[in-house]
Structure 1
């Protein structure tokens, strides 16, 4: 009986180490979104720097990024159309997770201007056209 009590105490103690409040989860998700947004901004800024001589491209990229931000915000409104209070205490986490997902997708889409495409791809457009 004493050993069963000890085992139960150890299990309970170890579970509380992993337990997090919803507030902690919301904060962690917000930090992950902030990191993803920072990564996206770094990619965007590097592209703008690398392609600075190509004014047509950089102007178009600037326009595309502004439109993407509008698209991202519209996507979030589509995913969560009701007032935030209707989704409960997990809403900030869910919203941040969705923003992080969309931001990672955009970062990958832009990264091609940094990494290039497969050699010989005839549809590479402006990729690599830094002048």
Structure 2
């Protein structure tokens, strides 16, 4: 009987510890995703500034409008992608991961635009 009681207590403690670790792990994953989004956002802002510096005033206006529209798209797209876990503990991670992914993609697009060669007709100046 004493062995059964000890086993039950040990099992209960293990389940409690696993539940606690799981909640802590989700919180950690949420925080890591938020940090990755901050890094991606800093890289985007840096590249956006560099790209704007290479453009004519008319092209700057066009890029500014495109960027604002893109931000709206990105935010709506990630709300949609994360909607399956809305209200859950994983929502911040899923949402931030989506935002970081799309932000990184946009940074690459802006980098490509800022590095295009003279004579490239698809290259805004």
Q: Structure 2 length normalisation: TM-score?
A: 0.72
2:48 matched residue in structure 1: 44
Match of 1:79 among 71, 78, 81: 81
| Map of 1:31 onto structure 2 | 35
Candidates 101, 122, 125, aligned match of 2:123: 125
Q: CA RMSD in A?
A: 2.1
User: Please, which runs of 5 or more residues in structure 2 have no aligned partner?
Assistant: 1-21
**Equivalent residue for 1:100?**
100
Q: Which residue of 2 aligns with 1:89?
A: 89
Alpha-carbon distance in structure 2 between the residues aligned to 1:80 and 1:94: 6
The number of aligned residues is 103
Residue 50 of structure 1 deviates from its aligned partner by 2.5
Of Structure 1 and Structure 2, the greater helix share is in: 2
Unpaired runs of 5+ residues, structure 1, are 1-18
How far off is 1:76 after superposition?
1.4
Partner of 2:59: 57
Q: What is aligned with 2:12?
A: none
Report the TM-score when normalising by structure 1: 0.69
